[in-house]
Amino acid sequence: MRILQFCVRFISLLLAFNLFTAKLTVRAFTGTYGINYGRIADNLPPPDEVAKLLRAAKIKNVRIYDADHSVLQGFSGTGLELIIGLPNDHVKEMSTNVDHALTWVKDNVKAFLPDTRIVGIAVGNEILGNGANSDLWGSLLGAVKNLHNATQKLGIDDIVQISTAHFSGVFDNSFPPSNCTFKEGVSQYMKPLLDFFSQIKSPFCLNAYPFLAYTYASDKIDVNYALFQPNEGIYDQKTNLHYDNLLDAQIDAAYAALEDAGYKKMEVIITETGWASQGDQNEPAATQNNARTYNYNLRKRLAKKKGTPLRPKSVLKAYIFALFNEDQKPGATSEKNYGLYKPDMSISYDIGFPGLKSSSAVSLKEIQGGRRFGSKTLVLAVSSVVFLLIL
């Protein structure tokens, strides 16, 4: 009898431990492929139609940059997993007002669960290291903590992950990757943030753009290295690792900075990456062919479910930027032309995803027929059919 009681008690403790561990390791990403649904445009389809498009493309992970209720309602019952955003201009308020943070989570998260599968809150975007947002650097951690505490009070911290996305401006000496550290002016804000994320098991979220790196340093970077095409790559003497593509090098630079700061076990997730299909005169690499090549090769890379040279066992996960071209986005022409889809839900170019409307973009059949492109593109197109089946 005592043995039986001991076994029952042991199993109960084991189950409790497993539940506790699962709660500590809440994950906001299924698989390896996700997409950013930006909406700075005046010609986009309604959210319920967008949800149909995403389901047709079998893209389950979606990020938005706010908590617009029309999107949350439009995604209800779809099974799509959504990370919502707290805009930068709300960060200071959330850092100083606990009640406002609780109300925000109640109104924009709790009220829509479980029908809308909100799995995360992204607190601001590219705040640290960005001079334009320097007044928010000291507010970011407070906002993160208050929103996390709100999810705890509402009993949803086991399903809603808190994070924030960074950009390359937080790093210093990122070449070769092993030399990378956090900038001195950023570290005093970054380290307490990483301490907290380490406690709640949130990843380090990085917006990484080989397109931008190449655009700013085309005299030093081989475009094939940026596009996952055959090239000589680079060699990092410190780690004795070879890199055949720029994105892997950017990710491992982040891992090196995290390790230098004392956070070797923290996972890096790519929250934005993409390639513009059109740009200004000073953006010659922003072409439809390059955008197709980058996004096709990235999709193939993610389907392999492998890590980077420095972290081969940490499967790479990425959100692509972006779902649609956004005609109202300010800045360079490239900013308006990252979309995999046009506003009418036809494809911008063919990387194997279906559209909900016929498109004037070059089809796989046209590419295979050799009517427009050479042999390399023919191989790319044929491979995409097989790739679509295995993703």
Active site residues: 126, 272
Q: Is 129 left (phi over 0), alpha (psi -120 to 50) or beta?
A: left
Give the closest residue to 96 by CA, choosing from 132, 131, 140: 140
Phi, psi of 83 (to 5 degrees): -100, 120
User: Are 203 and 83 within 8 A, CB to CB?
Assistant: no
Encoding tokens for residue 390? Answer: 């295995």
DSSP secondary structure string for all residues of 322-369:
-SB--TT--SSGGGG---SB-TTS-BSS-SS---SS--SSPPHHHHHT
Longest CA–CA span in the chain (Å) reads 82
CB atoms within 10 A of CB 261: 16
Alpha-carbon distance values, 45 to 53, 64, 68, 70, 279 (Å): 10, 15, 15, 12, 24
* Coil, helix or strand at residue 173: coil
Q: What residue has token string 């007002």? A: 97
Check whether the bond before 87 is cis (ω within 30° of 0): no
Any idea what DSSP says for residue 34? E
> Going by C-beta distance under 8 Å and a sequence separation of 6 or more, which residues neighbour residue 130?
167, 169
User: Are 149 and 123 within 8 A, CB to CB?
Assistant: no
Encoding tokens for residue 75? Answer: 């995604």
Can you point out the beta strands (E) in 192-345?
204-207, 234-236, 241-243, 268-273, 318-320
User: Are 286 and 332 within 8 A, CB to CB?
Assistant: no
DSSP bridge pairs for 85 = 122
